[in-house]
Chain A
């Protein structure tokens, strides 16, 4: 932040000439792209392009551009939640994009698509691993049982109904059973 203030001060004092405009534009574009990356996935490309167009149309010199950029970036804190109301609300109201993708993955896996099952594994294995590790306190056992959980899940995948909504919870119940079946040490 200090560096930014310094740059602003220098620009305002005219210590840095208009040739800097190119450099500032580059810096602004970078800041805006990074800011856009803090938005929900499906909105990033749109805002990156929108802001870049605005930046180009912005009248005024480097100071104006940089101030505008920093303000826009500051607004991301309010913009991100406006675009993505809380996860809980989305899931209650309508399946989120990620939720729809997962539903589709589960459908495809149930139809026998191995690739889709692999994607589900990628998405949920860490959650399952953490759950098991939390209960067994053994990383080796947790690794084994995570694999077991998915093998079991594949076997009984037909029994999963998407109405349950909670695929992670369903996996967790399988894992819980597997943990209970472990011989007491």
Chain B
């Protein structure tokens, strides 16, 4: 279990709403740079901890490419909360999802 993986797991558990996050959001809440983020996400996806789906929008209508959203799979949720619990008991809101304190800069209006 590497630090970037723990950070990403933490970000998913802290995510509000439907728990789906795209790359920039994850990058914003974990502080991971894009060169680290995508390889780690890919490893989590290959391992089945994370799944990803396209944003449900027609790129031609929206006039921009679709976003790729990531979320924890049930397996990732179980294994991830165990890993985080082991890592720092009590300090991480595992059961009660909390919005990220500040939120990524581009989401603040």
Contact = CB atoms under 8 A, between A and B. Distances in A.
> In the complex, which range does the number of interface residues on chain A fall in?
20 to 34
A50 B67 CA distance: 6
Interface in B52-109: 55, 59, 64-68, 105-106
A82 B37 CA distance: 12
Given A53-B68, A56-B65, A58-B24, A71 B34 contact: yes
Given A54-B24, A59-B105, A79 B39 contact: yes
Contact of A53 (B39, B46, B64, B106): B64
Contacts of B42: 79, 82-83
Interface in A107-153: none
Interface residues of B, number: 22
Contacts of B33: 71
Looking at B22, B39, B55, B106, the one whose CB has the most chain A CB atoms below 10 A away is B39
For the residues of A in contact with B, the DSSP-based class is helix
B17 interface: no
B24 A75 contact: no
Given A54-B23, A57-B24, A82-B43, A49 B66 contact: yes
Given A59-B106, A71-B33, A83-B46, A53 B38 contact: no
Contact of A71 (B35, B55, B64, B66): B35
A68 interface: yes
Nearest to A74: B35
B34 A57 contact: no
6 contacts: A47-B38, A57-B106, A68-B34, A75-B35, A75-B39, A82-B46
A-B complex: 3 closest residue pairs judged by Cβ atoms:
A75-B35, A78-B39, A71-B35
Interface of A: 46-47, 49-50, 52-54, 56-59, 68, 71-75, 78-79, 82-83, 85
